[in-house]
Amino acid sequence: MKVTVRLYGTLRKRFSGYRAEQGLEIFIPDEATARDLLDHLKIMESLGPVVAMEGRIMKPDDKIDQGADIRIFQTVHGG
């Protein structure tokens, strides 16, 4: 299935040619989870990634919806 992924923080630097307006359009297997998506994008745990869909933070085993607009940012503590 196709999903759109928008990246924030230092994650953008890992994808050359990333354009904020478009995000990344990628294909992942149906039933893929948040963890699968991070594996697919090779975003390591040590980067503190947080996956959000529809305004909610996803747990690693939560399934991604068909055609979802996904945002991935990094853990932050306060401002």
Partner 1 sequence: MKFIRANMSDQTITEENVPNNYIGLGGRGLTSIMINNEVPPQCDPLGPDNKLIFAPGLLSGTTLVNTSRVSIGAKSPLTGGIKESNVGGTMGFSLGKLGINAIIVEGKAPQGELKFLKIDDQGKASFVQAQDYKSMRTYELVEKIHKNFGKKNSILCIGPAGEQEFKVASIQGSDTEGRPCRAAGRGGLGAVMGAKGLKALIVDQGGKNPDPVADPGTFKESSKVLTKIINEDPFSGNMLPNFGTPVLVAPVNSLGAFPSFNARKGVFDGWEKISGEAMAEIQGPRGGKMKHMGCTQCIVHCSNEYVDEDGKYITSALEYETIWAMGGMTGIDHLDTIAKLDFLCDDIGVDTMSTGVGIAVAMDSGYKSFGDRDAAIEMVEEIAKGTEFGKILGQGPVAVGKHFNNERVPAVKGQSIAAYDPRSMIGNGITYATTPMGGDHTAGNLVGAYLGQVLDPLKKEGQIETSREIQFFNAAADSVGMCLMVYASLNSPEAREVFLNVTNAKLGPELAVEDLRSLGERILKAEREFNHKAGFTKNDDRLPKFFYEEPLPPHNTVFPFSNDELDMMFDF
**Which residues in this chain contact partner 1 in the complex, by CB under 8 A?**
8-10, 12, 20, 46-48, 50, 52, 55-57, 59, 71, 73-79
From the number of C-beta atoms within 10 Å of its C-beta (0-12, 13-18, 19+), residue 48 rates as middle
Closest to partner 1 by CB, 67 or 79: 79
Q: What's the helix, strand, coil split of the chain in %, to 5?
A: 20, 30, 45
CB of 26 to partner 1, least distance (A): 19
CB of 68 to partner 1, least distance (A): 13
